């Protein structure tokens, strides 16, 4: 018998394969009704945001551990640069942006389950460096985190609409100004 976790695992496999997530197909694959699937995961958009967030959170955790030798703004900027490179190089994310551009942009760049969690995670990273005494923010860390996330979105995701290349280094320059 399928479980809630099976639904998330199957949705993650579909996303990572660069395929469109179809709730009817997912329910059939799991051998459950669509009502059960929706009860477990919420609607398609919520499930996509949860899947993408889970992958993002894992990447951020790994990147944060890899940058542990750095301190303060240097660590923060480098960790965010690596995260930007990770999302730009993600074939699954690029397929989602290419195949469902407006849905992807709305889910990733509007206030909601994905963006709220990303802002909270960046806030946590900023606060961690503040607690270590290695970073003195020039503004509230929540506000800095929000501005940082919006900067990343503007240089990476929103350029997808006009089909220009994501500008990771320009985003990093602005983030450095915010956090430096």
Residues 115 and 109: beta-carbon distance below 8 Å: yes
Query: Does 4 score more than 70 pLDDT?
Result: yes
What global pTM score does this model have?
Answer: 0.94
pLDDT digits (tens, 9 = 90+) for 12-56: 999 999 999 999 999 999 999 999 999 999 999 999 999 999 999
Average pLDDT over residues 68-95: 96
Residue 56: per-residue pLDDT: 98
* More confident: 162 or 72: 72
Residue 157: per-residue pLDDT: 82
Residue 167: partners with Cβ closer than 8 Å, 6 or more residues away: 155, 156, 159
CA–CA dist 172, 170 (Å, integer): 5
Residue 161: per-residue pLDDT: 61
pLDDT digits (tens, 9 = 90+) for 152-171: 999 888 666 666 677 899 99
CA–CA dist 37, 24 (Å, integer): 9
Average pLDDT over residues 49-64: 98
* More confident: 162 or 130: 130
Average pLDDT over residues 7-14: 98
Would you list the DSSP string of 111-148?
Answer: TTHHHHHHHHHHHHHHHHHHHTTS---SS-HHHHHHHH
Alpha-carbon dihedral sign for residues 133, 136, 137, 140:
positive
Choose the weakest-confidence range: 61-70, 98-107, 125-134.
98-107
Supply the angle between the helices 44-66 and 101-109 in degrees, to the nearest 10. Answer: 60
Q: pLDDT category, 84, cuts 50, 70, 90?
A: very high
């Amino acid at each position: 018998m399928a479980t809630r976790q099976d639904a998330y695992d199957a949705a993650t496999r579909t996303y990572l394969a660069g395929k469109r997530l179809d709730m009817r197909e997912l329910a059939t694959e799991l051998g459950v009704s669509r009502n059960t699937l929706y009860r477990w995961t919420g609607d398609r958009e919520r499930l996509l945001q949860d899947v993408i967030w889970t992958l993002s959170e894992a990447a951020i955790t790994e990147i944060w551990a890899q940058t542990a030798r750095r301190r303060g703004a240097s660590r923060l900027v480098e960790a965010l640069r690596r995260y930007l490179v990770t999302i730009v190089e993600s074939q699954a994310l690029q397929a989602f942006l290419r195949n469902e551009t407006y849905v992807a942009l709305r889910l990733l760049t509007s206030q909601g389950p994905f963006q709220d969690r990303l802002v909270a995670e960046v806030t946590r990273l900023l606060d961690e460096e503040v607690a270590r005494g290695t970073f003195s923010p020039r503004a509230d860390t929540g506000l800095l985190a929000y501005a940082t996330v919006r900067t990343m979105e503007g240089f990476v995701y929103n350029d997808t609409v006009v089909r220009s290349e994501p500008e990771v280094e320009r985003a990093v320059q602005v983030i450095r100004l915010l956090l430096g």
